[in-house]
Amino acid sequence: MARSRAKDYDDKRLSMLHRSAELFAASGYVGTSMNTIADACGVSKALLYHYYPDKEAILFDILSSHLAKLVAAVRKASAQAGDPVARFRTIVATLLELYRHADAEHQVQISSLKLLPKDKQQPLLASERILVGIMSDALAAAVPAAKQKRVLKPLTMSVFGMLNWHYMWFREGGPMTRAEYAGFVAQLVLAGADDAAAGATRPRGRAKSAGRSRQAELL
């Protein structure tokens, strides 16, 4: 007879995922054991295995849950925003707000997604591509110069760079609030993208690449 799930199963699972993400962010995925996770979560190893068969499954669920939340929220923000400029600003603000309590999950996404087997990476990369596509479409609509193909990709990834790495320096109570920094990033892009695009020169030649980077796969 199959063991029934406790009423607080999902709450415990989410708590385990968040604590595991903190451990992976602090000590690295490779340097964190199932024993360490069980101890940090205050559960027995047997109970942890009731939720997850191995560490790989924990990593996948951390990233899958995190990215699903980002995609759902950004899609909603994009659909509800008004004009193109407001849409872009709303997407930027939404992402930064979602990162408020997810620094560990976000750090794990950046550092450890590549450690999963290829078949498990694919659905996660697909979610990342959705996020990049929404941002790319918003920029193309809000910034006329961004419609140029050779400008759109660098501009889109530059915006993500400002947002994705903010956890390295941003501190609550600092010189800017989270909302103010979101406005700062949006205004920086809106005010400077046209001039930056106009000043960009087409390269005379392309260096051959041995393979596609993760960033290249996203666009």
Q: Which amino acid is at 30?
A: V
At 96-150, the pLDDT tens digits run: 999 998 999 999 999 999 999 999 999 999 999 999 999 999 999 998 888 887 8
Phi and psi dihedrals of 123, rounded to 5?
-65, -30
On whether the CB atoms of residues 134 and 91 are closer than 8 A, the answer is: yes
Q: How confident is the model at residue 1 (pLDDT cuts 50, 70, 90)?
A: very low
Residue 196 scores a pLDDT above 60:
yes
List b or e across 70-105, with b for residues whose CB sees 16 or more CB atoms inside 10 angstroms.
bbeebeebbeebeebeebbbbbbbbbbebbeebbbb
Task: Give the Cα separation of 42 and 16 in Å (integer).
Answer: 9
Confidence (pTM): 0.84
Distances (CA, A) of 122 to 53, 67, 102, 114, 129: 21, 13, 22, 10, 10
At 25-59, the pLDDT tens digits run: 999 999 999 999 999 999 999 999 999 999 999 99
Residue 2 scores a pLDDT above 50:
no
Question: Within 13 Å and on the Cβ side, how many CA atoms surround 38?
Answer: 16
Q: Give percent of the chain above pLDDT 90.
A: 71
Within 10 angstroms of residue 176's Cβ, the number of other Cβ atoms is: 12
Q: Which amino acid is at 155?
A: L
On whether the CB atoms of residues 29 and 55 are closer than 8 A, the answer is: yes
On whether the CB atoms of residues 63 and 115 are closer than 8 A, the answer is: no
What's the pLDDT score for residue 58?
Answer: 97
At 55-92, the pLDDT tens digits run: 999 999 999 999 999 999 999 999 987 899 999 999 99
Q: How confident is the model at residue 217 (pLDDT cuts 50, 70, 90)?
A: low
Q: Give percent of the chain above pLDDT 70.
A: 88
Task: Give the Cα separation of 105 and 109 in Å (integer).
Answer: 6
Reading the block at residue 82, the tokens are 């008004």
On whether the CB atoms of residues 214 and 114 are closer than 8 A, the answer is: yes
Within 10 angstroms of residue 121's Cβ, the number of other Cβ atoms is: 18
